[in-house]
Structure 1
Amino acid sequence: MSAWIEPSSRLPLRWGRYRARLVGGLVLILLGSGFILVTTAYSLPFLLIGSILQPAGWAVMPSTIGRRVAVVLPVLGFTWLMLGGSGFAWCYAVPLAAWLLVRLRPLPSYAVLALPIAASLLLVRVVTTYQQGWITVVVGVTVDVAAAWTARFIALRLDSWQAVRTLRKSSG
């Protein structure tokens, strides 16, 4: 049995190297999301900066162009919704879904989307004031990261046999 290879690393890239684009895209997405989530009425420039950085991050991620374009507006819109506090913690499922789509995860791995939704049900009961908003961000990001790694584990266990239709067509 051969070693598992990340499906998106097998895609032909028109520019750049896989690892640099992956790390650069992830850094831009995280910085952009961070800038958006620290926005207040007194720091609106952060919203603008984050709204530029986050789509730039999705644009450089190594994946198919259709997947990268498909996630930009939904993720940006739902990240803005997260500014509403713990009542919108379920929105953390949208960037996770985008990550799974862009990283070419197989359909069964999308079951991990239940994790941020379940966490949001708990957060809405625990986080009750604006000053506690950082708890929502920390828990939401932690759950998303754990869910993304769980989805990778699921893909690994399935050997990504259904991860990328594009790759199956080109190899057949």
Structure 2
Amino acid sequence: MRPPILPPPRWGTVRERALLGLGLLVAGAASIAGAVEWMLWMLYLGSALHAAGWAILPGAGWRRVLAAAVSTPAIWLLISGNPRFLVVLVVPVACWLLVRHRHPLAWLALPIPLAAALAVGETIPGSGGRYPVALALVAASAVAGAWIAALIDARVRSRRSPRPGPSLAP
């Protein structure tokens, strides 16, 4: 069941497009993060996949364009391999909330991935091959933040929906 705010998709269902878009976003980010100087094609492929993921997600067109324009360059910072730069994963989460038309109160979930990224950046050293572990921890906190934002959004919207009152008909 789609939220009433999202327009009906022209192809597929909202769920199908959300899952496909999310898969392309993650695949694109993983490809960008794995790019190295002798395999720049991974950067280009990842950028294309990431932008395609934003294009496929259901939502207003301007929101998807803005998300692709902001999120893709932010994800490029993952190339560094330094856990201190994992704080940029907050940007795609914020873009996700924008594209998915989440209620402004749902944005209160953004400190979850931000705090996790800051904590991981300070505790896990930048060398020693621990970057994949750091990336997994921050990505899990980003997913948790997005889910909590969805729960907040659902709660706020359910309280604001008109409830049927007593009928005056005999």
Smaller-chain TM-score bracket: 0.7 to 0.9
Q: Is the 8 A contact 2:83 2:121 kept in 1?
A: yes
Kindly indicate whether residue 71 of structure 2 is the aligned counterpart of residue 75 of structure 1: yes
Q: Which has the higher contact order (CA 8 A, sep 6+)?
A: 1
Q: Is the 8 A contact 2:74 2:91 kept in 1?
A: yes
Q: Is the 8 A contact 1:7 1:160 kept in 2?
A: no
**Which of 117, 122, 137 is residue 119 of structure 2 equivalent to?**
122
Which consecutive residues of structure 2, in runs of 5 or more, have no partner in the other structure?
161-170
Question: In the TM superposition, what is the alpha-carbon distance from 1:90 to its structure 2 partner?
Answer: 1.2
Query: Aligned residue for 1:33?
Result: 29
Which consecutive residues of structure 1, in runs of 5 or more, have no partner in the other structure?
163-172
- For 1:25 and 1:77, how far apart are their aligned partners in 2? 18
- For 2:44 and 2:53, how far apart are their aligned partners in 1? 15
Alignment of 1:18-57 (within 5 A): 18-57=14-53
Kindly tell me: are residues 10 and 117 of structure 1, through their superposed partners in 2, closer, same or farther at Cα, counting changes over 3 Å? closer
Kindly tell me: are residues 44 and 160 of structure 1, through their superposed partners in 2, closer, same or farther at Cα, counting changes over 3 Å? farther
Question: In the TM superposition, what is the alpha-carbon distance from 1:6 to its structure 2 partner?
Answer: 4.1
Kindly tell me: are residues 78 and 8 of structure 1, through their superposed partners in 2, closer, same or farther at Cα, counting changes over 3 Å? farther
- For 1:127 and 1:71, how far apart are their aligned partners in 2? 29
TM-score by length of 1: 0.84
Of Structure 1 and Structure 2, which has the larger fraction of its residues in helix? 1
4+ aligned runs moved over 4 Å, structure 1: none
Question: In the TM superposition, what is the alpha-carbon distance from 1:75 to its structure 2 partner?
Answer: 0.3
Q: Secondary structure at the match of 2:130?
A: helix
Q: Is the 8 A contact 2:54 2:64 kept in 1?
A: yes
One-letter amino acid of the structure 2 residue matched with residue 36 of structure 1: I
Query: Aligned residue for 1:99?
Result: 96
RMSD (CA atoms): 1.9
Instruction: State which structure, 1 or 2, has the greater radius of gyration over its C-alpha atoms.
Output: 2
Q: Secondary structure at the match of 1:39?
A: coil
TM-score by length of 2: 0.85
Q: Is the 8 A contact 1:8 1:103 kept in 2?
A: no
